Every structure is written in C-alpha cells, then in structure tokens.
Amino acid sequence: MPTAKICGLSTEATLDAAIAHGASHVGFVFFPKSPRDIDPAKAAALIRRVPPRVGAVGVFVDPDDALLDHAVAAGIGTIQLHGHETPDRVAAVKARHGIPVWKAVPVRTRADLATAHQYRQAADLILYDAKPPRGADLPGGMGLRFDWRLLQGHVHPLPWALSGGLDAASVGEAVQVTGATLLDISSGVELSPGVKDVDKIAAFLQSVARS
C-alpha cells in the first residue's frame, strides 16, 4: 500500500489532520523564499505533536550548516534537500547529522532521471519532482507535473518517492503508472500557496489508501 508525506505544514490543525488520516511523513519547509517557510522554533512546537510512527521531514534548498543545525535541534528526523546540492554536499550533511537524507531530482525528460544515480552513495532516498521553469524562485511546490511514464522501466538507484502535480484525483493514476509507494504533496492540498486545507488533506490521504 502506498504512503504519503504532507509537506509544507505550519499549523496544528493541518498537522493533526495529516496525522489522523494516515500520513507516513509530515514535512516542514525551511526556505525563506517559500510561502511555506517556517522558523525552527515554531517547527519544534509542531514536531512535538508528531507521534513516533510518523516521520518529521525538514525540507531545505541549498542550506548552510547553521540552518540545518537549528532544524535538527527542532526535532526533524529526516533532511530533504531540494536545491543544487552536490553528492559530496549530501554526503557531508548526512555525516554531520547522522539522520536520513533525501535528495530531490527535478525531472522534465528521461535524461534527467540519470541524475539520481550520482547520489547512489550519498542519499537514502530520491524524490522525483517536476523541473520548474527556468528562472523560477521555487524548486518545487508549484503544482507542476512531469510525464510520469518516464519512470516506467527506469532502474532506481535508491528507494524513491514521487512528487509534483499530485492531488486526490490524480494519485490513483500516479501509483498505477509509476508504481510509487511514497507520494509527496504540498500545493495539491492547499487553498492558496502556503495555506493548507484539512479537507483536502483528508481527501488526498483517503485516495492514497484506496490506491
């Protein structure tokens, strides 16, 4: 059965909805340019509400060590890197903090999938996400979708997850086409950028459970 991460959470109500309806992971974004940015102190208060069975993931874009230190101190158990981090940087982050590190790989064409293999010895999981338009301020969370058929026949170098353009209506297709067992959603459960909706969270997770 596939599982899901609800990303970009910032309120008790939406966090509680994600947990109550079966999310396997909850995500907190530490990136000032994002409408979902959260400061470590607020994140720490929310993470205290997260039960041990649910993974707390911190999402970063080319972070410095100080930001990572603050976020790990807040209680995140997994680091998700969504910027231009090299394999060496990913390995260094993992060595510094001793917790799992996920690396996002932006995808538009089949050739983009080859990037995942560069992180085989550095990351614990690859997150395939839609490549944003050139010049975009954000590397993800814009509701963009890549051609999921590109993943058919692809040899994955690591465990992997799927992101980009997901919502309650499309998740069944996503699982059927790609075989994904972990789905990562942010904008697809929002009323507007950064504003999560408890009903959309519930509907998405119910769709995941039926997939």
pLDDT score, position 75: 97
Known active-site residue 184:
no
Instruction: Report the distance separating Cα 176 and Cα 162, nearest Å.
Output: 12
Instruction: Report the distance separating Cα 186 and Cα 163, nearest Å.
Output: 9
pLDDT score, position 133: 62
pLDDT score, position 143: 63
Q: What's the token pair of residue 144?
A: 């963009």
Q: Are 161 and 184 in contact (CB under 8 A)?
A: yes
Q: Which of 7, 39, 62, 124 is catalytic?
A: 7
Q: Cα 192 vs. chain centroid, distance in angstroms?
A: 18
Domain extent for 109 = 3-210
Total structural domains within the chain: 1
Q: What's the token pair of residue 100?
A: 């799992």
Known active-site residue 7:
yes
pLDDT score, position 139: 57
Q: Which of 62, 65, 88, 129 is catalytic?
A: 129
pLDDT score, position 111: 93
pLDDT score, position 145: 84
Instruction: Report the distance separating Cα 75 and Cα 202, nearest Å.
Output: 25
- pTM of the predicted protein model: 0.93
Contacts of 188 (CB under 8 A, 6+ apart): 143, 165, 166, 167, 168, 170, 200, 204
pLDDT score, position 174: 95
Tell me which residues of the chain have a pLDDT lower than 50. Answer: none
pLDDT score, position 137: 57
Half-sphere exposure of 92 (CA within 13 A, CB side): 10
CATH code: domain of residue 33: 3.20.20.70
Instruction: Report the distance separating Cα 5 and Cα 56, nearest Å.
Output: 9
pLDDT score, position 132: 76
Q: Cα 66 vs. chain centroid, distance in angstroms?
A: 21
